[in-house]
Amino acid sequence: MSNPSLLILAGDGIGPEVMAEVQRIIDWYGDKRGLAFDVSEDLVGGAAYDVHGVPLHDDTMAKAQGVDAVLLGAVGGPKYDVLDFSVKPERGLLRLRKEMDLFANLRPAQCFDALADFSSLKKDIVAGLDIMIVRELTSGSYFGEPRGIFIENNERVGINTQRYTESEIDRVARAAFELARKRNKKLCSMEKANVMESGILWRDVVTEVHADYEDVELSHMYADNGAMQLVRAPKQFDVILTDNLFGDLLSDCAAMLTGSLGMLPSASLGAPMENGRPKALYEPVHGSAPDIAGQAKANPSACILSFAMALRYSFDQGAEADRLEAAVEKVLADGVRTADLMQADGGTPVSTSEMGSAIIAALDASL
C-alpha cells in the first residue's frame, strides 16, 4: 500500500517557519514510528500571488483535491493589502474551503495548565478549559448570494446574504453531535433565532438531528449571549456548534480565553473520500504574523498540534496524536517558551526551531 499523502501549503509570513518544524515532526513519525507520508509542497496566499498572480493556482487546487490531507501555514500580509479583493491572499484559503467542501471546522480551545496565567481572565475561570467549537465553513454569509457592492438610488449598497439550506445545517450538526458523543456529551448550538429566519431554521434542524443523538445533551443559545457566556463561565461548554460568521467571532473569543493563540490548532473536514478518509485541511488558528516573520520567534506549536489533529481525524492514529499532544504539553510544563509565551514567566525565549527540537526530544523520551 502506498503511503498516505500530504500537501503542505506553508503560505505567508511565519507560515514557512512554523511549517519547517512540522516537517521535522513528520520525518520523526516516518523514522521512529514507521508512519511515512508522501509529502508535496505548493504555494498559497501572497506567496502564490507573487508567482502566479492568483492566491491559489488551479493546479494547486487540483493537488489539494487529490491528497489525503492538506496542511496549511498562514496567508496574508501588509504587502497584499492593496490588492483587489478577488486576489487577496484570503481568497486562496476560502477557495480551498469551498471547493473541497470542508463544511465542519473544528476549533478546540484548550487551556494548557502551564499557561493558565496567560489568559486575560482569572486563572480559575480558564484553568482546565477544554472546549471544541464546530463552525460551519462553506456557507452562510461568507458565500451567500446575492453579494456585492451595487448602486441603488444613486448611492452604494453593500450586500451579503446569510443563507443556509437544511442539508447544510444537518451535515454540520451531525459532525458536532458525533464529536460531542466522543467528549462530554454536551452540545450547545448558537444562532440568532430571535432576529433571523436562518437562525430559526438552524435551531429547528439541529433539534431534528438531535433525535439521532439522544445520548448527547443539547442546548440552544443566542449567539450574543454565547459570546457573553464564553467570557463569563467558559467551562460550562463542551462542544459549541455555530454558523460560519458567528463561528469566526466566537472562535477568536474562545481562542483568546486560553491566552495563547500560538498554541491553537484547527481542522476543516468535509465528506468522506473513496478511501474513507474525510476531505481535510489542517491549519493553526493564528495568522501570518508579519511583524515577527523571518525572525525565528514564531511558536510552531499550533501548526504542530494541527498535524496532531491530522493524525487523529485523517489517519486514525489517535494514540500517536495523544503522544504528540503530550509532548507539546511536556515541553510547556518544562518551562520552554517561545517569545509569545513570555509575558508572565520572564527568562529567555527559545527560537522556533529550538521549540521544535524540544518537542522532538519529548517525542523521543516518550518511546
Residue 326, contacted partner among Mg ion, ligand IPM, none, CB below 5-8 A by kind:
none
User: Has 192 been annotated as catalytic?
Assistant: yes
**Grid coordinates of 299:** 511558536
Q: How far is the C-alpha of 109 from the C-alpha of 131, rounded, in Å?
A: 5
**Comparison of 94 and 227: residue with beta carbon closer to ligand IPM:** 94
Please report, for residues 12, 13, 38, 42, the alpha-carbon distance to residue 79 in angstroms, rounded to integers and kept in the order given.
Answer: 11, 11, 33, 20
Active-site residue identified among 186, 224, 235, 322: 224
90 touches which of ligand IPM, Mg ion, none (CB within 5 to 8 A by kind)? ligand IPM
Smallest distance, Å, CB 148 to ligand IPM? 18
Choose between 248 and 322: whose C-beta lies nearer to Mg ion. Answer: 248
- The nearest distance, CB 248 to ligand IPM, in angstroms, is 5
Residue 99 found at the interface with ligand IPM (CB under 6 A): no
- The one segment of 89-97, 272-280, 305-313, 322-330 that binds ligand IPM by CB under 6 A: 89-97
Interacting residue ranges for Mg ion, rule: CB under 5 A: 248
The residues, ordered by sequence, that sit 6+ positions from 269 with a Cβ below 8 Å of its Cβ are: 102, 103, 104, 105, 106, 175, 278, 279, 280, 313
Question: 61: alpha, beta or left, given left = phi > 0 and alpha = psi -120 to 50?
Answer: alpha
Binding site partner of 99, from Mg ion, ligand IPM, none, Cβ cut-off 5-8 A by kind: none
Any contact of residue 90 with ligand IPM (CB under 6 A)? yes
Residue 71's DSSP bridge partners are 8, 282
Q: Is 58 a catalytic residue?
A: no
φ, ψ dihedrals at 166, nearest 5°: -55, -45
At 136, give phi and psi (nearest 5°): -65, 135
- Asked if 178 interacts with ligand IPM (CB under 6 A), we say no
Closest to ligand IPM by CB, 10 or 327: 10
Q: What is the CA radius of gyration of the chain?
A: 20
Show the site string, 231-250: x = touches ligand IPM by CB under 6 A, - = not: -----------------x--
- Nearest Cα neighbor of 108 from 179, 169, 168 is 179
Q: Which residues bind ligand IPM (CB under 6 A)?
A: 90, 93-94, 248
Q: Which residues are catalytic?
A: 142, 192, 224, 248, 252
